[in-house]
Structure 1
Amino acid sequence: MNRETRPNGGFTLPELIITIAIAAILLGIATPIWHKWTEHAAHRTAVNQYHTLFSFARWSAASRHLLVTVCPLSAQGKCTDNWQNPIFVFFDANNDKKPDNGAILRSFSFDGARFRIRSRTGGKGYLQFNARGMIHGATGSVILCPKSANGTAMSYMAVNKGGRFRVEHDTDGDGIIKLPWGVNISCNA
């Protein structure tokens, strides 16, 4: 038997230990990066879903020439200010903050495990679009706040008087968004 040949039976113990050590180092480096990437992807998805929801509500109001309300609904089917609950879009011709004939146009549930939502609707808990697709009554906004402090920034999502959606992000990661007119927005307030 030639001593320089080895059987094709596998790895030696030192080769196996080195391979496991290299895999552990790579996993230790990749895990935090992967977690941060998935948090950012979930954040972008949530902002895009709110944009889609408000744009759909505006389009529905303008295309059908009816009042449309966007809000979370209570168990009794009336608007509430708890934006942690699913959000609903519905026609509200009589402006009673309840879906006309119980009909829901669209609903949205966000990732409550990763984010919390704060509304800035003056305590009323809803936003409405009139028959021209503009805001009916006061403007409003919601704030998307991350539950973990792993680098995912907060976002301020507002609908202006013309019914247009816009987003401001906490770009410096300090937990505060300074709006152009001087108001500071944070997840803690």
Structure 2
Amino acid sequence: MQRRSKGFTMVELLITLAIAAIILALATPSFLDLMEKNRVRSTAEQLTDLFRLSRVVAVEQRLRVSVCGSSDNTNCDDDWDSSILSIKKGDSVDEVLGTLNISSKVSVSKNGTHPEVEFRESGWAPGDSSTITICPVDGDQRNAYKVIVRFSGKVRMQANTDNESWC
């Protein structure tokens, strides 16, 4: 009497592997797009949180807080693509309140005439309204976000739902 084998044949394994490869090939582009969208959205949410924290600290501690781009994580410059700092402006020394490091797969740019956004003791952000645009480096407009800081200090995040040319 011959016993039946409990394993798989080579043909069954190859067919299963081929089906898995086809499913993976179909799912990969969607998964990569999802990762890109989440990376940009996460950066926009973190930046929104950094602005809101800066405003709250300015009001609670009765001092000025600036949010600015930085290429070296310590000093303000106009490089919003490397990192973004929140700096408490003290009487004698400035203190870094928070830092947001920007992924190399995300592009961040700020419009407006001032290189930084400053919150006053009242919570207001005098000067022009600032818009910070966050885009994937491949320039896909569908995944772009804006973080908008109004003169009143109100901060909001906006997705590019109309597929406008932001990047």
TM-score of the two chains, using structure 1 as the length reference: 0.78
- CA–CA separation in structure 2 for the residues paired with 1:134 and 1:15: 68
| Aligned-partner residue type, residue 127 of structure 2 | G
Secondary structure of 1:132's counterpart equals coil
Q: Which of 11, 14, 17 is residue 17 of structure 1 equivalent to?
A: 14
| Aligned-partner residue type, residue 96 of structure 2 | I
Secondary structure of 1:116's counterpart equals strand
Q: Percent identity?
A: 28
Q: Which runs of 5+ in 2 are unaligned?
A: none
Aligned residues of 1:60 and 1:68 also touching (Cα < 8 A)? yes
Please name the residue that 2:110 is paired with.
119
Matching of residues 15-54 of structure 1 within 5 Å: 15-54=12-51
Following superposition, the deviation at residue 74 of structure 1 comes to 5.6
Say yes or no: does 1:7 pair with 2:1. Answer: no
Where has structure 1 moved over 3 Å in runs of 4 or more?
Answer: 73-78, 149-152
Q: Which runs of 5+ in 1 are unaligned?
A: 95-99, 177-185
Say yes or no: does 1:55 pair with 2:45. Answer: no
Larger Rg belongs to: 1
Secondary structure of 2:147's counterpart equals strand
Q: Which has the higher strand share?
A: 2
Secondary structure of 2:143's counterpart equals coil
Following superposition, the deviation at residue 82 of structure 1 comes to 1.0
- CA–CA separation in structure 2 for the residues paired with 1:38 and 1:76: 26
Please name the residue that 1:157 is paired with.
147
Aligned residues of 2:54 and 2:67 also touching (Cα < 8 A)? yes
Say yes or no: does 1:106 pair with 2:98. Answer: yes
Aligned residues of 1:39 and 1:152 also touching (Cα < 8 A)? no
Residue-pair matches, total: 167
| Aligned-partner residue type, residue 15 of structure 2 | I
Please name the residue that 1:171 is paired with.
161
Aligned residues of 2:44 and 2:146 also touching (Cα < 8 A)? no
Please name the residue that 2:132 is paired with.
142
| Aligned-partner residue type, residue 137 of structure 2 | K
TM-score of the two chains, using structure 2 as the length reference: 0.88
Following superposition, the deviation at residue 154 of structure 1 comes to 1.3
